[in-house]
């Protein structure tokens, strides 16, 4: 069975829409390089579309009815949004889920130090990265510093053209004889990924004669200890009003500096950071915003911590989502434990995450009959996992059949794929977490080339087709 390239299925007018969508997508990527930034961007967009927070709905004593739109943000890193359908909630929802965390390099809690007149921020990388890809390139710092008085300083340095950028050094090739013998996993050591943030010593005026604590002869002749670090601390104090100890309660994420770009002479692709999984987050969100009235209540879930196993209070394994649905039931006429369970088990989900796109230069890692190709549309992964499907959610055949029907009816082009050849590797998504409620879940999404690299690539036409697929799925009333 052959799956086809879909670029030529569309007329010029539709291709204009493809370009408009991908331009909007690039702005989404540029404005959301961390999970917190994605949440801010999402809340802004959905509030413009008439969404109100669950909290506000509760405070105003509202009872929700068909077409009402509410959202719940958890710790500024995960969000669940709902559009109420005509059918009662216990009949289940259609859920679009994606993750908004991406592989990156995080700043440690006690990070700032000086070595041989370079000031560094010590780091610990987040998610699965090839460490050697992150050195010797311009990097930006995004995040928050929360001070003891609970004021939050928002940090975003390295994106404006006038901003400075930061970098991690690599040893020059001339002296890399030993390094080049190492296997790729060891070429860059995790502790050698510290970020260079300065090199200019603070000028410290010598104390004058008669002044208290006058410098000794020895002090006068030795350069000030950690003067570069002190210079950085002075800048941090002046520009951000933060002290060294404020790093203790900061979340600073180091990401590639710069904007997402169109790629190729034909501008058919997008090259940008964090497309795993913001490409599915964006298309799910966009589908959510463009829905008409639906029969099933539709939910869009954008969550944190997928890249490290969906753990933590803001990851999919957290009960925040179940709690939000419980609150929703209450606002829709009354919570009961049984209704909550019925609602969740009868829901259907597209666990939307990126697929590994077939890479002809690494063809041996793929089995082409069951691989995702650029330009072939939205991907359905019946299962992911590794070595004997371990760790996978394996979608039910009946569910896959139903989705085939929906996509065919709406002329959505889809392809089916596995994550690479059997026994060459693997991976997981948030699918298994929702599946524990007993609901139908399948992995779906957009193929990505160079996944988890600082700059990942996608095809514009796949982004458009995913968006159409999500609308078709969310609008369907017959699932379950």
> For residue 232, what are its two tokens?
């950085």
Q: Which stretch binds Mn ion (CB under 5 A): 251-259, 347-355, 389-397, 432-440?
A: 347-355
DSSP 66-88: TT-EEEEEETTTEEEEEE--SS-
DSSP 8-state class, residue 309: T
Q: Which stretch binds Mn ion (CB under 5 A): 187-195, 254-262, 276-284, 462-470?
A: 276-284
* CB 89 within 8 Å of CB 109: no
CB atoms within 10 A of CB 20: 11
DSSP 133-182: GGSSS-EEEEEEEE-TTS-EEEEEES-STTS--BB-----GGG-TTGGGS
- Closest separation in Å from C-beta 272 to Mn ion: 15
- Closest separation in Å from C-beta 277 to Mn ion: 4
> For residue 454, what are its two tokens?
């600082």
Q: Which CB, 51 or 374, lies closer to Mn ion?
A: 374
> For residue 375, what are its two tokens?
């330009």
- Closest separation in Å from C-beta 306 to Mn ion: 6
- The sheet carrying 269-272 orders its strands as 261-263, 269-272, 456-459
Q: Does 277 bind Mn ion (CB under 5 A)?
A: yes
Strand partners, 434: none
Q: Which CB, 83 or 318, lies closer to Mn ion?
A: 318
Q: Which CB, 233 or 441, lies closer to Mn ion?
A: 441
Residues in 133-192 that interact with Mn ion by CB under 5 A:
none
Q: What string of H, E and C letters represents the secondary structure of 171-226?
A: CCHHHCCCHHHCCHHHHCCHHHCCEEEECCCCCCCCCCCCCCCCCCHHHHHCCCCC
Q: Does 35 bind Mn ion (CB under 5 A)?
A: no
DSSP 8-state class, residue 422: T
- Closest separation in Å from C-beta 276 to Mn ion: 4
Q: Which stretch binds Mn ion (CB under 5 A): 148-156, 240-248, 345-353, 373-381?
A: 345-353
Q: Which CB, 253 or 276, lies closer to Mn ion?
A: 276
Q: Which CB, 138 or 309, lies closer to Mn ion?
A: 309
Q: Which CB, 6 or 280, lies closer to Mn ion?
A: 280
Strand partners, 315: 304
* CB 7 within 8 Å of CB 377: no
Q: Which CB, 275 or 347, lies closer to Mn ion?
A: 275
CB atoms within 10 A of CB 381: 27
Q: Which CB, 330 or 353, lies closer to Mn ion?
A: 353
Binding mask 300-339 for Mn ion (x = CB under 5 A): ----------------------------------------
Q: Which of 304, 353, 443, 462 binds Mn ion (CB under 5 A)?
A: 353
| Whether residue 277 has a cis bond before it, omega within 30° of 0 | yes
Site size toward Mn ion, by CB under 5 A:
3
- Closest separation in Å from C-beta 381 to Mn ion: 11
Q: Does 276 bind Mn ion (CB under 5 A)?
A: yes
Q: Which CB, 68 or 277, lies closer to Mn ion?
A: 277
- Closest separation in Å from C-beta 93 to Mn ion: 22
> For residue 386, what are its two tokens?
């590794």
How far from 81 is each of 31, 245, 272, CA to CA, in Å?
20, 37, 26
- Closest separation in Å from C-beta 103 to Mn ion: 6
- Closest separation in Å from C-beta 429 to Mn ion: 6
Residues in touch with Mn ion (CB under 5 A)? 276-277, 353
């Amino acid at each position: 069975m052959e799956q086809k390239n879909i670029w030529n299925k569309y007329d010029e007018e539709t291709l204009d829409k493809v370009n408009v969508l991908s331009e909007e997508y690039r702005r989404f990527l540029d404005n959301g390089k961390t999970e917190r930034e994605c949440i801010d961007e999402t809340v802004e967009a959905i509030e413009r579309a008439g969404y109100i927070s669950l909290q506000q709905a509760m405070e105003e004593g509202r009872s929700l009815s068909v077409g009402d739109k509410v959202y719940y943000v958890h710790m500024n890193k995960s969000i669940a949004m709902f559009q109420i359908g005509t059918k009662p909630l216990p009949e289940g929802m259609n859920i679009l889920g994606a993750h908004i965390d991406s592989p990156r390099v995080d700043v440690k809690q006690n990070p700032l130090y000086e070595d041989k007149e370079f000031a560094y921020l010590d780091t610990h990388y987040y998610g699965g990265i090839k460490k050697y890809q992150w050195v010797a390139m311009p990097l930006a710092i995004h995040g928050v510093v929360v001070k003891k008085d609970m004021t939050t300083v928002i940090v975003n340095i390295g994106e404006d053209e006038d901003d400075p950028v930061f970098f991690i050094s690599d040893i020059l090739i001339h002296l890399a004889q030993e390094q080049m013998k190492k296997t790729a996993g060891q070429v860059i050591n995790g502790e050698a990924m510290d970020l260079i943030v300065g090199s200019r010593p603070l000028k410290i005026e010598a104390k004058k004669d008669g002044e208290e604590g006058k410098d000794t002869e020895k002090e006068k002749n030795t350069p000030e200890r950690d003067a570069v670090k002190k210079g950085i601390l002075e800048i941090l104090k002046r520009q951000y009003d933060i002290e060294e100890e404020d790093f203790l309660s900061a979340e600073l994420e180091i990401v590639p500096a710069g904007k997402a770009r169109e790629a190729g002479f034909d501008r058919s692709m997008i090259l940008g950071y964090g497309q795993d999984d913001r490409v599915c987050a964006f298309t799910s969100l966009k589908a959510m915003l463009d829905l008409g009235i639906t029969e099933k209540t539709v939910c869009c879930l954008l969550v944190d911590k997928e890249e490290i196993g969906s753990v933590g209070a803001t990851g999919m394994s957290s009960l925040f989502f179940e709690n939000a649905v419980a609150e929703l039931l209450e606002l829709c006429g009354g919570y009961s434990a049984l209704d909550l369970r019925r609602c969740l088990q009868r829901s259907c989900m597209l666990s939307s995450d990126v697929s590994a796109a077939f890479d002809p230069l690494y063809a041996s890692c793929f089995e082409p009959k069951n691989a995702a190709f650029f330009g072939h549309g939205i991907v359905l992964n019946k299962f992911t996992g590794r070595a004997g499907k371990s760790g996978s959610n394996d979608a039910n055949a009946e569910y896959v059949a139903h989705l085939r029907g929906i996509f065919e009816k709406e002329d959505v082009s889809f392809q089916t794929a596995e994550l690479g050849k059997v026994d060459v590797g693997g991976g997981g998504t948030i699918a298994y977490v929702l599946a524990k409620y007993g609901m139908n879940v399948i992995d779906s999404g957009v193929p990505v080339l160079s996944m988890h690299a600082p700059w990942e690539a996608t095809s514009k036409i796949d982004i458009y087709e995913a968006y159409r697929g999500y609308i078709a799925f969310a609008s369907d009333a017959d699932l379950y």
